[in-house]
A and B are shown apart, each in its own frame.
Chain A
Amino acid sequence: MGKALTAFEKIWNKHVIKEEEGKPALLYIDQHLVHEVTSPQAFEGLRLNGRKVRRPDLTFATMDHNVPTINRENMKDEISIKQMEALKKNCADFGVKLADMYHPDQGIVHIIGPQLGLTQPGKTIVCGDSHTSTHGAFGAFAFGIGTSEVEHVLATQTIWQDKPKTLNVQVVGELGVGVTAKDLILAIIAKFGVRFGTGYVMEYTGEAIRNLTMEERMTICNMSIEAGARAGLISPDETTVEFLRGREMVPEGEAFEALAEDWLALATDEGAEYDHTVTIYADEIEPQVTWGTNPGMGVPVSASTPTIADAEYPDEVKRALEYMDLEENQPITSIHVDHVFIGSCTNSRLSDLKKASKIVEGKKVKEGIKAIVVPGSFLVKQQAEEIGLDKIFIEAGFEWRNSGCSMCLGMNDDIVPSGGRCASTSNRNFEGRQGNGARTHLVSPEMAAAAAIEGHFVDVRQFVGVPS
């Protein structure tokens, strides 16, 4: 038997085309996902140099960042229209498959990859979007790249990579009732910071991770980038295989069984060594709420905002509290919101919407709150409607929208106004992220739903009948 290897090392070894000491390796890319915002300059670069897309069959494009979530037929933003027209033309000219705004496969690029089965264990996956780390939930090596690299992958189907180090994020014990995958990843980033993953591929291990569904695993891996990691990864297992069985882009019958066997063999070997390991105890984690302006500035819902003088970087805390218009030592449950956003590549899958709908069913959104639900894809929307989730949300006072990135980054009309405060299931609480001057609190779908009903943050475990 050979040396025990991590899943990442196995994937890496299978994709190296060329490797020399002291230089980055040339890696083959199995799947390239493309969207309208980070690709126009890349296609233009190909044109200027008379280059082609090497493997259009391994490239898939959609429109997600810019697309309106209402009145799609009546778009007014000329610059957005131009950007989407550019993608359409680029895909037609270079032979790339495109799920445009009206296509049944349209959705947030990180939602539709797994949904179609384009995302598979063992693949190298890139996209001009930092949340490409999402796909690592399947035991793929998936990472975000810039536009120059998008052009490089289009032209060569390869990328130059320094081999990242491996980091084992070991989750010990079980998550409590009412504590979600989102709370776990927020707690990890709050504990270890927004840069502890820099230079690493983070593999999440432990019982709590194994017990997560694929959709929950995607939420975890999605936010690996918020810890600075090159990629997040979870070893494939039966849960992974069953999620992919029957999806459009995976084979059927014996071919699938053979593939599934290969996938399972990719799991990290017992005794494999990581460059570094950190440990977090799942049973100590409460529902989380961020109070500041980066994803590491989060605390349990029962806690308060920090004391400036006690902080490691007092200036940063002071500045963040000022931007957020919060006091130091302010209880989280005293923070009132005026916007609630359920959506984004972190939390807009069917299970997210189901869980949020359970909280709001038969209740009303607090007066004065604008609450929207933006399903992650056209298909998620359709499936949700089949089981009546749209009605539950609409009756409670939510707006039910079409799919896209929407209020996560406000490139379309879905923005939080200056001074507004949003309970958001997205991934970034940066200054101005949801709109210039907007204040963002990152939470789970359940916590966002409960805030919509109560008008301020509450411990969602009160809603699910667990004493807090």
Chain B
Amino acid sequence: MEPFKEHKGIAAPLNRGNVDTDQIIPKQFLKRIERTGFGEFLFFHWRFDDDGNLRDDFVLNQPKYENATILLAGDNFGCGSSREHAPWALEDYGFKVIIAPDFADIFYNNSLKNGILVIKMNEEQVQQWMKKAEQGLTLDVDLEKQEITDTDGTVVSFDIPAYHKEKLLNGWDDIALTLLEEDAIQAFEEKRA
């Protein structure tokens, strides 16, 4: 996993609550056995009509968000299915940071494991940024300092568990870390046998 230190990018507002992972990546795209290439199917039925044309009414299709790398989302983002294809699709599409009032549990974990910085931020602030994003908003996200700097220079701090922060900053491989605990795992197994 690539280390995550700081990211500056355009923010796109997806102002809907309870966006489920079936919307993020519909089931017909879950049959691939690779980890890559899911970006083109992101929000597939919201982005494309039945004939495969881009829908004008979907926010990410607006030219101003074409290069967005930060997603501002609603409450309980990523609920439903545990499919990791959802963060794979978001990451492959280009999103590095997702900011929402709250995330569904499994989605939150899955995102961090793919180096996406998921930030829980109070609803009022998210809504404020969503409004600004309609006019164009660039956010500078500094994980080390746990700060987000707005286009107009306003600085907002955010919380993230220290453990997740350390892993993202270093781009650590979870499994390699756990295998350092091999002796403890083995001792546990022996004790229970």
Contact = CB atoms under 8 A, between A and B. Distances in A.
Given A156-B185, A409-B27, A41 B178 contact: no
A362 B30 CA distance: 40
Interface in B74-96: 75-76, 79-84, 87
A79 interface: yes
Given A28-B185, A83-B31, A148 B76 contact: no
A410 B31 CA distance: 12
B25 to A, nearest CB: 11
A138 B164 CA distance: 32
B106 interface: yes
A195 B79 contact: yes
A66 B31 contact: yes
Interface stretch (B63-71, B107-115, B126-134, B149-157): B107-115
B104 interface: yes
Interface size class of A (residues with CB under 8 A): 35 or more
Interface stretch (A18-26, A298-306, A335-343, A391-399): A18-26
Contacts of B50: 418, 436-437
Nearest to B177: A160
Contacts of A44: 33, 35
Interface in A425-439: 428, 430-433, 436-437
A198 B31 contact: no
Nearest to A313: B17
A228 interface: yes
A130 B81 contact: yes
Interface in B163-191: 163, 174-175, 178-179, 181, 184-185, 188-189
Contact of B34 (A23, A26, A37, A41): A41
A151 B174 CA distance: 10
Contacts, number: 161
Interface string B15-34: 01110101100111011111
A237 interface: no
B18 A148 contact: no
A155 interface: yes
Contact of A430 (B80, B84, B185): B80
Nearest to B46: A431
Given A146-B110, A146-B113, A294 B18 contact: yes
B175 A432 contact: no
Task: Specify the main secondary structure of chain A where it touches its partner.
Answer: loop
Nearest to B182: A156
Given A130-B80, A155-B175, A411-B27, A86 B113 contact: no
Contacts of A145: 82, 106, 109
Contact of B22 (A26, A86, A433, A437): A433
Contacts of B30: 37, 65, 411
A148 B26 CA distance: 19
B82 A17 contact: no
A430 B174 contact: no
B184 A22 contact: no
A294 B19 CA distance: 9
B5 interface: no
A128 interface: yes
Interface in B97-137: 102, 104-106, 109-110, 113-114
A146 B105 contact: no
B13 to A, nearest CB: 14
A156 B175 contact: yes
Contacts of B28: 411
A54 B105 CA distance: 26
A160 B22 CA distance: 26
Contacts of B109: 145-146, 149
A156 B179 contact: yes
A431 B32 contact: no
Contact of B33 (A86, A155, A162): A86
A128 B18 CA distance: 21
Nearest to B187: A17
Contacts of B163: 22-24
Contacts of B76: 194-195, 198, 228
Contact of A160 (B17, B31, B174): B174
B45 interface: yes
Interface of A: 17-18, 22-24, 26, 28, 37-38, 40-41, 44-45, 49, 51, 54, 65-66, 77, 79-80, 82-83, 86, 128-130, 144-149, 151-152, 155-158, 160, 162, 194-195, 198-199, 225-226, 228, 230, 294, 313, 316, 319, 409-411, 418, 428, 430-433, 436-437
21 contacts: A17-B181, A18-B184, A45-B175, A79-B31, A146-B87, A146-B110, A147-B110, A149-B110, A152-B174, A156-B175, A158-B178, A194-B79, A195-B75, A226-B80, A228-B104, A294-B20, A316-B16, A410-B27, A411-B30, A436-B45, A437-B45
Pairs A-B, 6 closest by C-beta atoms: A146-B110, A40-B33, A146-B84, A148-B113, A144-B82, A147-B84
